[in-house]
Amino acid sequence: MVRCHWQVEQGLSAYVGPGNLAAHKDSEVRHAYCAAEVTGPKDLLQAVFTLPGQYTSKLDQIKDTGVILASHAAPDWKGKILTELAVVLASQGYVVLRFCCKQGQHAHQRLFERALEVCATSPYAQGVRRWLFAGHGRGAQVAALCSAQCHRPVVGLVLLSYPLVQEESMDLSPVTTGATPESAEDVLMGIQQPVLLVMGDADELCRPDAMQACAARMTAAADVRLLVVQDSDHNFKTAQGRGPAIATVRQVAELIVEFVAAVENNTLQSSQLPRANQQQPHECTQPAAASTHSAPLGGQI
């Protein structure tokens, strides 16, 4: 017996089993754990919907923009960064889907595309008409690659710790026969949607100065915004290896929500996050150990 079952495409289906819908602690947000067929009944994609608390009763309060989140590595799809981001987005009315990928880069792209179709065809996303792609590390590169090939409307991207320095195991060629491999910068140059780039100031794979220079060369259609998290590495941990601090993750998540809302409402021009090719990037500092403070946008936090 399953709680919810639906057809995705080409005879493949997805389902949420009984007992797989759970409330997030101290929140009205719900998590629905899903399995979806990739090539058949024994080849399953594991994913989780993060849903607004009112997703069944107040459909007019559900945003018409859905969000797909891609992780850097398999364990990260349920990690602190993507979970907190999903919860903050869902609390503002967005339907969010994260998924698990234990395979290589091309498989990651295919599973991202499958995750999008699973979400788009699900009963949880009936009012969703357009999409925002987001990812961390390798997941950010996959999100950027998939945005160029997607047949559904993609209105923006949020790329966390996008690696400009190529890891040996990463192949950035599109999933097409005979495709030419691309550099990490080439992928960014092909983006045509508004994009928020988030990175730590101590990220060796994504140095802020290199990203600033790269962002300045991206197309005007991309409308690039930068957020630099102080005292943070590729995984938003401090130099001492601590973290990521929940207060830092929440601050970043709230800024991402502001960006997503501005993209959705076509008000990005008035956003306080500066354009990457016009001003210095916005900076966000790691809070003290017991701090949960916040500060106005437009300067260092």
Question: Going from the N-terminus, what domains does the chain have, and what CATH number goes with each?
Answer: 12-284 (3.40.50.1820)
pLDDT value at position 299? 32
pLDDT, mean of residues 248-271: 91
pLDDT value at position 182? 73
H/E element, 145: helix 138-149
When pLDDT is cut at 50, 70 and 90, the band that residue 271 belongs to is confident
Q: Is 283 helix (H, G, I), strand (E, B) or coil?
A: strand
- The answer to whether the beta carbons of residues 111 and 98 sit under 8 Å apart is no
Q: What span, in angstroms and rounded, lies between the C-alpha atoms of 197 and 206?
A: 10
Compute, in degrees rounded to 10, the torsion defined by CA atoms 81, 88, 277, 164. Answer: 20
pLDDT over 60 (residue 88)? yes
When pLDDT is cut at 50, 70 and 90, the band that residue 118 belongs to is very high
pLDDT value at position 167? 62
Could you read off the pLDDT of 92-111 as tens digits, one per residue?
A: 999 999 999 876 666 889 99
Could you read off the pLDDT of 284-299 as tens digits, one per residue?
A: 666 554 333 333 333 3
Count of other CB atoms within 10 angstroms of residue 216:
12
pLDDT over 60 (residue 158)? yes
pLDDT value at position 297? 30
Residue 86: Cβ-neighbour burial (10 angstroms; 0-12, 13-18, 19+): buried
Could you read off the pLDDT of 215-243 as tens digits, one per residue?
A: 988 987 789 999 999 989 998 888 787 87
Q: What span, in angstroms and rounded, lies between the C-alpha atoms of 149 and 144?
A: 9
Chain mean pLDDT for the chain:
84
